[in-house]
Chain A
Amino acid sequence: MAVKSSQLNVTDLDFDNISDNLKNYLKGQTIFKDYNFEGSTLSVLVDLLAYASHIGAINTNIAASELFLDSAQIRKNVVSRAKDLGFTPSSEKASTAVATMTLRNVRGGDGLVPSLTSMIMPRGTIFRTTYEGSNYEFVTATTYTPTVDGTTFTYSNLDLVQGTFAQDQYVFDSQLANPKFVLSNARVDKTRMTVTVNSGGVSSVYVLSTDVSTIDTTSKVYYTQENEEGFIEIYFGDGTLGAQLLDGDIISVDYIIVDEQHADGASKFTQISAINGYSDSQLVVTSNASGGAEKESIESIKFKATKFYTSQNRLVTLNDYKAKVQEYYPNADAVAVWGGEDNNPPEYGKVFVALKPNNADYLSDTEKKLVKDNLNKLNMLTVRPEIIDADIIKILITTTIKYNPSLTTLTAGELATLTKNTINQFDTDELNGFDAIFRHSNLLKVIDAADSAILSNTTNIRLKKKLKPTVSTNPKGYTVSMGNALFNPHAGHNADAGGIISTTGFKVGGDSVNTYYFDDDGKGNLRRYYLSGATRIYKDSAAGTVNYATGLISINAFILTSTVNADTSIDFTVIPSGNDVVAERGNLIDISSDDIKVTAEVDTIASGESSAGVGYTSTSTSSY
C-alpha cells in the first residue's frame, strides 16, 4: 500500500500487511537500514511487533463481535445478549404422550382390594415403548390417583414424558452473594421442572416467573437462566421481586432428563414399574408421543430474541403471534398467521394460527389447547386466536423417465428408485414452509439431472386433500378448498368417466350396503355414486358444486355413517389446471412420498433399437 513512509498505516489486521506497513515506516528514517533482510535483528523486532499487533487485532475483533447479538458466535454470549432483550432460550423438551391405564385383577393375598391411597401412581413411574426398533423409557411427571371399579383401577389422562426422572437438593445460604443453583444435568426439560422449598418444615411449591409485573414481595417464584456451560441455573427473589429464602431452607428440584433421541410418534407403551406390586395393566394411548425438541439453537435465539423484543410480550401484529407461537411451541416446523378479515369466509375478531409440528402433520388437541391458552394471556381483548390444523395439499407425482442403458450400470428399477429419492429430496428442500410454491419445471430439471443416463421425463401431477367429516345422524355439509384452479378445458369435460375428481369411499345414512364415492360432471356439479362391478350408479347428481376457477368443492349436507379410511376421512384427488401449485394461507404443500409413481423406460432411439422415430413411444401428459 502506497503511503508516505513517514506515516504508519494502522488499518490492516493481517500479519503480513502489518509487517509491510512497519517496514514502509522504517524507510522514512536513516538510523537503521537492515529492516528488509529477514535475518536482521531489526526484522526480528518487526516480526515481533507485527505478531503482537495481529493478535491484539484478532482479540479486539472477536471481543467486539461477541458484544452484539447479530455477530456473536459463542453460545454463552448469544444467550447473554438475548437476556439483555428479556428473552430466555427454551430448554430441551421431552416427548410426551397421553394415555389411560387400567390395572386389572388387583387383589391382595388376603383377597381384599387395596385402598385408593395405596394405589396412587407415584411421580417417576416408568413405562417403555419400542419405536422404530429402539426402546425408550417414559415416566410420569406427577402423581396420579386412580378410580376403582371392582378389582380394576383406572388412571386417566396420564402424561407420559420421555426421559429419566431426577432430583437435586440444595441448602440456601444467604452468606453467599448472589446465590444461584446449577442443576446437575445438562439436558433438562425446563417446562417439567418442579421447585419445592422446605422452610422450617413447611414445604411450598415455587413457580417459574414469566411476568415480572405480577410479582410482589411474597410471590413464591423462581427464575431460571442458562449458565456459561449451558446448564440451567435457578435463583430466587430478593424480597422485592419475589419472596426471599432464609438460611437453611432446603430447595428440591424435580425434573426430567431429556433423552438424546426423541420418540415422537410412539403409540404403544407397557408398564415397567409396578404400582404397589401390581403390573397387570393395559394402556390406551389417546395422544401419541409428540413435542420432543432440542435446546434452542444459536441461530434460533438470534432470530427469536429480536422478535420477542419487538413484540414486548403483547400480541398485536401478525409477527407478534408468529414469534410467540414459536416460543410456546419450539417444535414447530412452520407457522402461518393471518387475520380473520383475510380468511375465507371472513371471520372478524379472530386471528388464525396454522401450525405444523416437526415430525407430524397435525398438532394434538392437548397441544393446540396449550398454545391457545398461552396466547390468550397476551392477546388484545377483542381478538381471539384460533389454532387450526395446517391444510395439507399432497401432490401426487406420476413420472415416466426415458434413459439410455449404455450410459449407466443401473437397472430400470434402480433408476426409478433413484428418481423417487430425488423427488423426495426436492420436497424437503423446496416445499418445507407455508409460503412455498411447487414449480413444475424445476422438478423436471431435477429429475433430468438425477442421473446422466436419464434423457427426458414426462411428469404429471394431481392434488390430494383430506376432508375430516364427522360421523353423525344429522346431515352436514362440507367444503374442500384446493387453493388452485382445477382442470376444466370445456363444459362437461370427461363427464362419462367421472370428470377430474375422485375420492376414497364412504357410507351414508339409509344405505349400509353400498360404498359411495364423489366425482364431477365437468359442468360444476359434484356427483355421488357407488360401483356396480365397474359401472358407476349415480345416486345423487347434484351432491354439491365444484368451482373450477377457485378450486373450491362444496358438498351438500349428507349423513355420513363411516369411511373406508381408518381415520374417518375422505381423500379428494383432483387434476389441477396448471402444473405449478401454490399454497395459500394455512395450506402446506407436500409431495406425498407414498404416491410417487416412477416408470423407467429404455429410450429406443438413444439405445439404437429403433431409428427414424419408428417404434418410439412417448408418454401422454394426461396419464396419471
Chain B
Amino acid sequence: MVDYVVNKGKNVAIKEAYKDLDLFFTAHPITGDVATKSDTDAVRRAVRNIVETNQYERPFKPGFGGNVRSLLFELDTDRKVRRAKAQLAEQIVNFEPRVTNVRCEFEFNGNNLDVTVFYNIKNGVSNQALQFIVNRTR
C-alpha cells in the first residue's frame, strides 16, 4: 500500500503498514487489548482466512472461500488434484489483491494432505508460504 506525503516541498512515497485483527482474538500480554497483525502477518492471516473458509459460510457471499471441505470425498486423481490447486489459487487471487504469483502445492501424506500456498506480496516481501494440513477429524 503506497501513499504519498509532502515532505519539505517534495512528494515522498511512503508505505503504510497493513494492519488487521488476529482471528484468534488473543489478548496482548501487556496491554490486554486484542492482538493485531501487521504487514506480512496481516496478509498471511488474510490468505489463511480465504483458504480456511468454506463456500456459503460468509453471509451474502456464497462464492467466497477456498472450499477445502469440498475435497473431502473427491477421488485422488491427477485431474482432481489439478482442479483443486487451480480452485484454491483462483480464490486467493480473486479475494486478496495484495498478493501475486499464487501457486499451490499438495503433498499426500498417508491420510493427510499437506497444502502449501506460495505467493508474493505486492510492493512487499516475496516468496511467502502458508502451509497447513488437511485431515479427517473423526
Contact = CB atoms under 8 A, between A and B. Distances in A.
Interface in A1-47: 15-16, 31-34, 37-42, 44-45, 47
Interface stretch (B39-47, B74-82, B104-112): B39-47
A16 B42 CA distance: 24
A39 B18 contact: no
A15 B20 contact: no
Given A16-B60, A47-B59, A41 B20 contact: yes
Contacts of B1: 33
Contacts of B62: none
A44 B47 CA distance: 13
Interface string A457-484: 0000000000000000000000000000
A51 interface: yes
Given A33-B1, A34-B42, A40 B61 contact: no
B59 A40 contact: no
Nearest to A15: B60
Contacts of B45: 40-41
Contacts of A37: 46, 95-98
Given A33-B1, A47-B58, A47-B59, A38 B64 contact: yes
Interface string B1-24: 100000000000000111111110
Contacts of B21: 32, 41-42, 45
B60 A38 contact: no
Nearest to B21: A41
B59 A41 contact: no
Contacts of A33: 1, 16-20
Contacts of B61: 38, 47
B59 A39 contact: no
B60 A40 contact: no
A47 B61 CA distance: 9
B49 interface: yes
Contacts of A40: 20, 42, 45-46, 49
Contact of A39 (B16, B17, B19, B95): B95
A41, A42, A45, A50 — most chain B CB neighbours (10 Å) = A41
Contacts of A45: 21
A261 B49 CA distance: 59
A45 B16 CA distance: 22
Given A47-B61, A51-B59, A38 B50 contact: yes
A180 to B, nearest CB: 41
B47 A39 contact: yes
Given A32-B21, A41-B22, A15 B59 contact: yes
Contacts of B36: 32
A41 B25 CA distance: 10
Contacts of A47: 58-61
A33 B3 CA distance: 13
Contact of A32 (B19, B47, B59, B98): B19
B47 A51 contact: no
B36 to A, nearest CB: 8
Contact of B96 (A16, A39, A41, A48): A39
B60 A34 contact: no
A44 to B, nearest CB: 7
Contacts of B95: 37-39
Contacts of B19: 31-34
A16 B20 CA distance: 21
A197 B133 CA distance: 75
Contacts of B18: 33-34
A16 B58 CA distance: 13
The list of the 3 closest CB pairs from A to B, nearest first, reads A39-B46, A34-B20, A51-B59
Given A33-B19, A34-B46, A47-B61, 9 more contacts: A15-B60, A32-B19, A34-B18, A34-B20, A34-B42, A37-B97, A39-B49, A40-B20, A40-B46
